[in-house]
Structure 1
Amino acid sequence: RQWLYVGLLSAGQFLNERAKHVWKTWGHQVPALEVFTGISGVDPGGLPVVQLPGIDETEYPPQHKSFAMLSYICAHHVDKFDWFLRADDDVYVKVDSLQSLLMSMESNEPVYMGQSGYGRAEDQGRLGLGGHSFCMGGPGVVVSRAAMKGLCRYVKRCQDEVVSNEEDVEIGRCFIRHLGMQC
């Protein structure tokens, strides 16, 4: 297995800007990176783009795109990598620091980490988090192979059980409800 897979969320309008800059800077330093977009018929100019059918590029937060990306990762990559990073196309990663951190941890242990969040105070009771934290999507979310394999069993169910429009909250809620893990 390779040490890291990066699923980069982007949109057709940002492929030649943000996504291409990620690829030119830190993206080529990781073993595998794929850019996820809902638009079809684009010329990604050498970028490793996965075009997700039926995804509305204007949806924000990109809840359907995130769940579609997770389904894709579960179907194609879950057994090939030790760690998975879900990142937006406007994040910068110090790959050597991330690799050093992840190599000090066990990917066969369930890990779901990033910047903890609880939602806005006025929304907390409606998010179904039970006071637990989720990993906020903006800074990126790292998941071990063990946690990703566990999550894969519930991706479809979690997509059907959403209570908010927030994609990072809903993925966090999935980890909390079905795997007993918080950020």
Structure 2
Amino acid sequence: MKRYWLLYGCLLLVVLFSFIWYSMVTLQQASHHIEGQSLGERILNKMSPIHPTVQFTEPLVSHDDKSLLIDETLVKVKLKGIRVFCFITSQEKSLATKVVAVNETWSRRCDGKVFVATTKRVYPGVIDFKVPDGRAHLTEKTIAALRYLYTNHLSGYDWFLKADDDVYIIMENLKYLLSHYNHREPVYLGHLFKKYSKWGYMSGGASYLLSREALRMVVEKGYNVQGKCAKTGTDEDVELGHCLHAVGITVHDTRDQFNRETFHPFSASNHIIGPIPNGLPDWDRHPTRVGHECCSQLTISFHYTDPSLMRIMEFLLYRTSVYGRLPNFNAMKNFFKIGTVPPLNV
């Protein structure tokens, strides 16, 4: 009997050691596979496997859970039918950090979106125009993105938002501003700087928008016409502004009725607390303000928002409320200064 128990014990040991050996080999193979991937690849592989040229199409909702007592009826009724496509510029080194944060927060409210980056491999939701990174190629990359939008999405969306991967956008406020404009007219919106021309240009850092007609005109009458617009340059927002003006598109005001800005080229801390960067008043078309008067009640964007702050802003805006304090929506019917901005006398 003891002989049988001894034989049985030996068999168990053989099975156990075989299992351990197999597990170690499998783990080693898996670790080699993982070590061959960057952190960005490991994180992005967990994202939805969407083809780079296919836009994300998520509905305009706050993605709230049922424990949040939120009424979005006004948003769904008032802003229904305003379709915004977001093209968000980035770099491969930021795909695992900034892009993940943008994808988890404000960009979920875009009606369509694509991330633009030069990469060494294919990532879900990212399109590569094979334009090198760096300031020297920013204009080329932006023109490539605009041509892509013109070819693939012109008829499907009303507005086209250019944003960096470190800006935070409050989409509902943006769409309310857009509800006052006609996308069938050439409209160019953002934070207005006054340099380089009598019209000025919209800050790329604060984000800017083109209506469907503005996108059509800048591609067909601008970039598709030899010698009409510059196709290289270090400041894509400046060059785009020049091209838009060359085809007859003027700048529009985005301040509110109290002269507070809605698009902000620097961080929330810079604008609310200060100090503002040296020289900003020399660039701003409208008077630069710091503190309570810096920013509209219906603010749209803040630049230089890192991933941690982006998630904090998302939480405070969409998962917290102040009991008894509701905006006076009836008084906001004429909230924005709608219209073009006259040229400077230069």
TM-score norm. by structure 1 comes to 0.83
Q: Quick one: distance in 1 between partners of 2:248 and 2:152? A: 21
Are 1:31 and 2:100 counterparts? no
Greater strand proportion: 1
Gap change, CA 1:149 and 1:32, over 3 Å in 2: same
Gap change, CA 1:38 and 1:94, over 3 Å in 2: same
Gap change, CA 1:16 and 1:70, over 3 Å in 2: same
Find the counterpart in structure 2 of residue 115 from structure 1. Answer: 191
Larger relative contact order (Cα-Cα within 8 Å, sequence gap ≥ 6) = 1
Find the counterpart in structure 2 of residue 63 from structure 1. Answer: 139
Find the counterpart in structure 2 of residue 92 from structure 1. Answer: 168
CA contact (8 A) 2:187 2:214 kept: yes
Structure 1 segment 41-80 matched on structure 2, within 5 A = 41-42=121-122, 44=123, 46=124, 48-53=125-130, 55-60=131-136, 62-80=138-156
CA contact (8 A) 1:38 1:65 kept: no
Amino acid at match of 2:190: G
Q: Which of 102, 116, 121 is equivalent to 2:178?
A: 102
Q: Which of 164, 169, 173 is equivalent to 2:242?
A: 173
Q: Quick one: distance in 1 between partners of 2:250 and 2:133? A: 30
Are 1:11 and 2:91 counterparts? yes
Alignment length (residue pairs): 170
Q: Which stretches of structure 1, 4 residues or more, deviate above 4 A after TM superposition?
A: 156-160
Find the counterpart in structure 2 of residue 144 from structure 1. Answer: 211
Point out where structure 1 has 5 or more consecutive residues left out of the alignment.
none
Q: Cα offset for 1:109?
A: 1.6
TM-score norm. by structure 2 comes to 0.46
Q: Quick one: distance in 1 between partners of 2:91 and 2:176? A: 30
CA contact (8 A) 1:151 1:175 kept: yes
Amino acid at match of 1:50: I
Amino acid at match of 1:8: I
Once the two structures are overlaid, the 10-residue window that deviates more, 92-101 or 157-166, is 157-166
Find the counterpart in structure 1 of residue 50 from structure 2. Answer: none
Q: Quick one: distance in 2 between partners of 1:160 and 1:142? A: 19
Amino acid at match of 1:39: T
Please list the CA deviations of residues 53-108 of structure 1 after superposition, one character each: whole Å capped at 9, or x if unmatched: 2x111335722111111111111111110111011111101111112221232111
**Is the partner of 1:104 in helix, strand or coil?**
coil
Q: CA RMSD in A?
A: 2.1
CA contact (8 A) 1:39 1:52 kept: no
Q: Quick one: distance in 1 between partners of 2:233 and 2:134? A: 17
Q: Quick one: distance in 2 between partners of 1:133 and 1:61? A: 21
Q: Quick one: distance in 2 between partners of 1:162 and 1:27? A: 28
Q: Quick one: distance in 2 between partners of 1:156 and 1:11? A: 27
Find the counterpart in structure 1 of residue 200 from structure 2. Answer: 133
